[in-house]
Structure 1
Amino acid sequence: MSELSFDDKKERAVILGEYIIERKATVRAAAKAFGISKSTVHKDITEKLPHINSGIYKEAKKILETNKRERHIRGGMATKHKYEEMHKKNN
């Protein structure tokens, strides 16, 4: 997905929330998909979306909280995979 233009910031917050819900996306993945910064995604979801659409906010927030709890596990698995691949190349 390439960078999109939005009619207004409210629309962007809703679209980001829906994207995160539909794909169980991380803030980083949503930022990359829309060509915006992680800070912008985070601010739209946590500060703007609750006032625009509380239902979407609650669902997106659950996913982001799950992603945050699992972040260290994903990082550890990526590191493990990296070293396994290095070990295979050296043998």
Structure 2
Amino acid sequence: MKGYIEERAIELAGFIIENNATVRAAAKKFGISKSTVHKDVTERLAKINTVLAEETKKVLEKNKAERHIRGGMATKAKYKQRSEAMLKKKRENDKYKHG
């Protein structure tokens, strides 16, 4: 394995552990694909540093278990924002009708 790939795998693991980050967040931060992040921290890291690989795996498993909660919160925020925008538009229309 090339040295820079090993370094990247270790840096990714550190970022994920320190920030309790998701694979998606790590991919965005490092400018690589989610697939690459996943391969680095599961397959490659296990060959480099098993202790770090285990710590990273725990964070990723926790994030995976909680993702349905984050998804629900994102959906709730989306519809709240949509509802507020519709209410604002209605008020503006009413203002012009009666104004």
TM range (shorter): 0.7 to 0.9
Q: How many residues align?
A: 86
Give 5+ residue unaligned stretches, structure 1: 1-5
Alignment of 1:1-91 (within 5 A): 7-91=3-87
Q: CA deviation at 1:89?
A: 2.0
CA RMSD between the two structures:
1.4
Give the structure with higher Rg (CA). 2
Greater RCO, 1 or 2 (C-alpha within 8 Å, sep 6+): 1
Q: CA deviation at 1:38?
A: 0.5
- Residue 3 of structure 1 is matched in structure 2 by none
Q: CA deviation at 1:7?
A: 4.6
Aligned amino acid, residue 28 of structure 2: K
Q: Which string of whole-angstrom CA distances, capped at 9 and with x for unpartnered residues, describes residues 21-68 of structure 1?
A: 011111011111111111000001110111111111111111101111
SS across alignment from 2:32: coil
TM-score (structure 2 length as normaliser): 0.81
